[in-house]
Amino acid sequence: MSVELQIERMTLEEKLRAMEALWTNLCLHEEQLPSPPWHERILRDREARVLSGEEKFEDWETVKKQLRDRLT
């Protein structure tokens, strides 16, 4: 099947809707999308930094508040 989108003629809103539709469809079949090898290396590295105490996490609500406070 050949699908030709006239991207240059699409409005920004149409492009964003098309991207959202594609992303939604891809997520329905995520098991068919293999993760690239570099992704596993990054995840292992991040996990090791968390386990060693080198990295820590912040609560998302706390971070949002900090950002809002900083930007206002």
pLDDT in tens, 18-60: 999 999 998 998 888 888 999 999 999 999 999 999 998 899 9
- Number of structural domains, the chain? 1
Q: What is the DSSP letter of 9?
A: G
Residue 36: inside a domain: yes
The answer on pLDDT for 71 being more than 80 is yes
* Inside any domain, residue 66: yes
Residue 5 reports pLDDT greater than 80? no
Enclosing domain of residue 37: 7-71
Q: How confident is the model at residue 1 (pLDDT cuts 50, 70, 90)?
A: low
In a domain, 18, yes or no: yes
For residue 53, being part of any structural domain is answered with: yes
Cα(36)–Cα(45) distance, integer angstroms: 15
Which pLDDT score, from 0 to 100, does residue 63 have? Answer: 95
* Any domain includes 1: no
2 is a domain residue:
no
The C-alpha atoms of residue 8 and residue 56 are separated, in whole angstroms, by: 44
What is this structure's pTM? Answer: 0.46
Whether 65 has a pLDDT exceeding 70, the answer reads yes
